[in-house]
Amino acid sequence: MRPAVLVIDMIHDFVHGKYGSERARSIIPAIRELLNLARERGWPVIYLCDAHIPDDYEFRKWGAHALRGTKGSEVVKELAPQEGDVVVQKMRFDGFYETGLDTILRAKGVDTVILAGISTDICVQQTAVGAYYRGYGIIVPEECVQGITEEGHRRGLEYMRDILGAVVVPLAEVRKI
């Protein structure tokens, strides 16, 4: 197995800014622990960041957020990318959609993605779908993802496990890989 860690939408607008929440902030320590593990093991770390253009049609549903080139679309300082990490901008929920993520992962020999970030039932789940369609194994450390609501969080975990075959485990299990 050759895993990579995908950190999804841990950006200012979704953690501290316009749509920030305590739920999003609560997973920062666990994600930091996962990032430390990945870097110790030499696993690629890739940040997927919402970065929209003005008048994006997604704004009709969610309002303007994470505008490309603004602080709102930047990774929060608590989880700042380090040398060797990759930052990929995305405009849709699925981090694979029109981003080049698949090409990056294949170039690094990755066959499994470990997902972290927000929201479990939106961008994390849709990125898991994108990974599934491309044949990647999927691991979701429970403490490293969070939803807007507890119901959405649980629903997202169940979907990824039951429909996509994701391995949903405590972070302690990821340490055993």
pLDDT band at 58 (very low <50, low <70, confident <90, very high): confident
Confidence of residue 67 (pLDDT cuts 50, 70, 90): confident
Sequence ranges of the domains in the chain: 3-174
Q: Residue 59 pLDDT more than 90? A: no
Give per-residue pLDDT as tens, 157-177. 999 999 999 999 999 999 999
User: Dihedral (C-alpha) 127, 133, 136, 139: value to the nearest 10 degrees?
Assistant: 40
**Count of residues for the chain?**
177
Q: How far apart are CA 28 and CA 75, in angstroms?
A: 12
Instruction: Give Cα separations from 172 to 33, 38, 52, 144, 147 (angstroms).
Output: 10, 13, 35, 11, 21
d(C-alpha 126, C-alpha 10), whole Å: 15
pTM here is 0.96
Q: How confident is the model at residue 64 (pLDDT cuts 50, 70, 90)?
A: confident
Q: Return the CATH number of the domain spanning residue range 3-174.
A: 3.40.50.850
